[in-house]
């Protein structure tokens, strides 16, 4: 049984999925076979029942995907056309804040699930900062006396 609410492109609503006999959280792979699909803009979402044996992405896989996207400057092709990592991180934090806090309609305590989502995702994003390094040019001399300019960490 699916219970949900389909949102229109202008709404801030997000649909939810449930299965009466589901044993775990949606998407954790422990009893439920419903998947929560959501676009980057949170404008539309829908629920589908998985029929294949394809594994559902775990938190670790989602975190790895976010790390890769942030460290590559949102350029998943690796072609060097992405934005600086700091800007990608700033954009990701801004988008997270917009998606979490735009659902807040009045001044009242936030629901626990939204607080948990904020804490988990902001920790993911801030942990990326440990892996960002600044590269600076440095002159290096080879054994045969040729000078090369190389990039080293600051």
* pLDDT of res. 34: 38
62 to each of 96, 125, 145, how far by Cα in Å? 15, 12, 48
Write the burial class of residue 70 (CB in 10 Å: 0-12 exposed, 13-18 middle, 19+ buried). Answer: buried
pTM for the model stands at 0.46
119: left (phi over 0), alpha (psi -120 to 50) or beta: alpha
pLDDT one-digit tens code per residue, 110-123 = 889 989 989 998 98
Alpha carbon distance 118, 40 (integer Å): 16
CATH 1.20.58.2010 domain position(s) in the chain: 59-136
Read off the pLDDT band of 55 (50, 70, 90). Answer: low
pLDDT per residue as tens digits for the range 74-113: 766 666 677 777 788 888 899 889 988 887 888 888 889 9
CATH of 59-136, one of 1.10.3720.10, 1.20.58.2010, 1.10.3190.10, 1.20.950.20: 1.20.58.2010
Asked whether the beta carbons of 17 and 4 are under 8 A apart, the reply is: yes
């Amino acid at each position: 049984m699916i219970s949900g609410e389909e949102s229109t492109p202008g709404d801030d609503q997000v649909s939810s999925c449930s299965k009466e006999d589901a044993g775990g959280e949606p998407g954790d792979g422990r009893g439920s076979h419903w998947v929560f699909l959501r676009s980057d803009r949170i404008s539309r979402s829908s629920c589908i029942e998985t029929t294949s044996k394809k594994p559902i992405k775990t938190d670790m896989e989602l975190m790895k995907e976010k790390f890769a996207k942030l460290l590559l400057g949102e350029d998943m092709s690796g072609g060097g056309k992405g934005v600086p990592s700091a800007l990608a991180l700033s954009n990701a934090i801004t988008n997270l804040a917009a998606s979490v806090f735009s659902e807040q309609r009045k001044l009242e305590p936030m629901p626990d699930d939204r607080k948990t989502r904020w804490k988990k995702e902001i920790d993911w994003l801030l942990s990326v900062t440990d892996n960002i390094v600044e590269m600076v040019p440095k002159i290096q001399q080879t054994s045969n006396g040729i000078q090369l300019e190389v990039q080293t960490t600051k």
